Amino acid sequence: MARRTKGLATPKAARRRERKRKAGIQVRRKKEFTYRGMTIEKLQELNFDDFIKIVPSRQRRSFRRGLSKEQAKLINDSDSKPDKVIRTHRREMIIIPQFVGRSFAVYNGKEFVNLEIMPEMIGLYFGELAPTRTSPTHTGPGVGATKSSKFMPLK
């Protein structure tokens, strides 16, 4: 068995280093977003009935029951005011491809949560993106409590 000295590499290590060097030269392109095998451009070209056919069953059932007046108004507002932030209470509205790139402010029961719609959000409900509950944050022991609870026993 040959002994390696510091600074000299085995032929296997040299080949590995060469492969890594060549791989680093290649330009890595960003993976293109697809939803159920369709790009965002194709999704935006679809009419509403064709889009309904490719969403999951829960969303498909909601759309087949029909849009409420408020939901239809929200879609019309997003088409007519693409650069404005649209404020809404419609947490049950499903994100459609026409909403991508637009800004919405969804009410969570206390305040409006700003959302910038991205392609990855298609098919989700507004309510999923504007949580109504937050986890409690506690301070250290004894803050705001009685005097006796300030002193923690040493271990």
Per-residue pLDDT of the chain (155 residues), as tens digits, is 555 555 567 888 888 888 877 777 655 667 888 999 899 999 999 999 999 999 999 999 999 999 999 999 999 999 998 899 999 999 999 999 999 999 999 999 999 999 999 999 999 999 999 999 988 887 766 556 666 666 666 65
Q: Kindly report, residue by residue over 42-86, the tens digit of the pLDDT.
A: 999 999 999 999 999 999 999 999 999 999 999 999 999 889 999
pTM: 0.70
| Predicted local confidence at residue 115, as pLDDT | 95
| Predicted local confidence at residue 106, as pLDDT | 96
CATH of domain 34-129: 3.30.860.10
C-alpha span between 106 and 90 (Å, rounded): 7
Q: Domain residues of the chain, as ranges?
A: 34-129
| Predicted local confidence at residue 86, as pLDDT | 95
With a CB cutoff of 8 Å and minimum separation 6, the contacts of 105 are: 85, 86, 87, 88, 112, 113, 114, 115
| Predicted local confidence at residue 5, as pLDDT | 54
With a CB cutoff of 8 Å and minimum separation 6, the contacts of 63 are: 48, 52, 55, 94
Backbone φ and ψ for 68, nearest 5 degrees, come out as -75, 170
| Predicted local confidence at residue 14, as pLDDT | 85
